Amino acid sequence: MALMDKIFGEFVDVIEWTDDSPDTLVWRFERYGNEIKHGAKLTVREGQKAVFVNEGEIADVFGPGMYELLTANLPILSTLQNWHHGFESPFKAEVYFFNMRRFTDMKWGTKNPVIVRDPEFGPVRLRAFGTYVFRITEPAVLLREIVGTDNHFTTHEISDQLRNLIVTRFAAVLGSSGIPLLDLAANNDQLSNFVTGRIAPEFANYGLELTKLLVENVSLPREVEEAMDRRTSMGMVGDLRRYTQFQAAEAMRAAASNPADGSAGAGIGLGMGMAMAQQMASALNQTGQPQPAPAAQQGGSAAVPPPLQPAFHVAKDGKPAGPFDPATLAAMAGRGEFSRDTLVWTQGMSGWEKAGSVSALAGLFGAAPPPLPGGLG
C-alpha cells in the first residue's frame, strides 16, 4: 500500500475540502509525506479559507476561489526524481482549511454561584446560563495560537476554554452593568449586548469573533426568591386591613370545625370574635364613617360590644414574649402553647399573673368544673 500511495502521489494534486460536519473548525489536507506538488489545484469554497504552510511557515491565506500553486517555494521535483532522498521530498508543505461560518448554540453556564452587589439586596449569589455564537476571523492567528499541527480541530477542543473565559468575565461584567436584579429579566437584551461587547476582545486574541452572547436565565438563591415571592404576595394583597379580617375569619372557621377540643374551640371562637370587633371598630374609625349610638341611647336592647382588649406579654421558657392580641392567644391555646397557668402581663397590672386568673383571658379556656363534693371521686 505504501508504494501505491507514493505512485498516486505523483499525480497533480486537487486540494479541496467538502466535509459537512457541524463541529469542524480546521481540517488539514492529507497528502502523503505532506508534499504539495508544483501546479496543484487549490479550490476554496464559500464559507472557507485556506492557509498554505510551506516548510513550516505560513506562506499565504486564500479566500474562496480556485488557485494553481506555482510559487517558487513549492517543490518542483516529484518524489520519483529524488532517489537520493529515499523517495522523500525535502520540501514539505501543508494546506489547512478553515470553516468561516458561524457556530451557533454553543452552551455556557456558571458551575458555581458568582457573587455580585445589588443596590437593593446587597451581596447576592447568582447562577446564569445561556448560549453564544462565534466564528473565525483570523485563520493565521488561530493556527498559531490554538490549532498548531492538529489535523482535525473541532469546537469540542476549544468550547471549554471559551466557556471558562465567559464565566470568568461574567461576574465583573454583571456587577458593572448597573442593572438591578429585579430588572434583569426585562433587560436581557441589554445585558446580552453589554456582556458581548466586554468579552469580545478576549475572543479576538484567539482569532475568533464573539458575534452574540445570549443570557437565557439568571437565577437567584432560594432564600432571595422566597423573599421576592413574599413581597409579591404583599403587593397582591392590597388592603392589608381587609386581608387581616379575612384571615381572622378563616382561622375562626377552622377552629369551629375542629371538634377535638371543645373548650379550646370555644376559647378560640371567643378570642376571634373579640379580635373581629376590634378590627371592625378600627376600620370604621379609619374610614371616617359615623359611629352608631349606644343601644341605650337608641332605645334598643342590643348587647353592647365587648370593650377592646389589651395586648399581653407571655412568659415562655423563662423569658417574656409578645405582646400578643387575644386572637393570637386564642390560637396559641388551641395549639396547646398557652394555658391557664401561663404567666401574663399587660399595662395596668402590678405584676405577672396566671392567665386563668385574668378576667380578660378567662374566656379563652372555657368554664372549669367545680371540685367534687367530699367523699366522691
- Kindly list the domain boundaries of the chain, sorted by start residue: 2-99, 103-224, 242-284+308-365
Above 50 in pLDDT, residue 76?
Answer: no
3 state SS of 126: strand
DSSP-H helix ranges across 98-239: 139-142, 156-177, 188-204, 222-237
Burial of 93 per CB tally in 10 Å (0-12, 13-18, 19+): buried
Above 90 in pLDDT, residue 230?
Answer: no
Grid cell listed for 169: 468575565
For residue range 258-301, list pLDDT tens digits in order.
Answer: 655 544 455 555 555 555 556 555 554 554 444 554 444 444 44
Pairwise pLDDT comparison (120 vs 98), residue with the higher score: 98
At 31 the pLDDT is 73
For residue range 12-71, list pLDDT tens digits in order.
Answer: 478 899 888 889 999 998 776 667 776 778 899 999 999 988 777 888 899 999 988 764
Query: pTM above the 0.75 mark?
Result: no
Q: Which residues contact 258 (CB under 8 A, 6 or more apart)?
A: 265, 334
Q: Which residues contact 366 (CB under 8 A, 6 or more apart)?
A: 262, 263, 264, 266, 267
3 state SS of 261: coil
In order, the DSSP letters of 301-321 are -PPPPPPPPPPEEEEETTEEE
At 324 the pLDDT is 81
Strands in 312-316's sheet, in edge-to-edge order, are 319-324, 312-316, 343-345, 353-354
Mean residue pLDDT of the chain comes to 74
At 122 the pLDDT is 78
Is domain 103-224 annotated with CATH 3.30.70.120?
no
Above 50 in pLDDT, residue 85?
Answer: no
Strand residues in 29-91 grouped as ranges (E):
40-44, 48-54, 57-62, 65-69
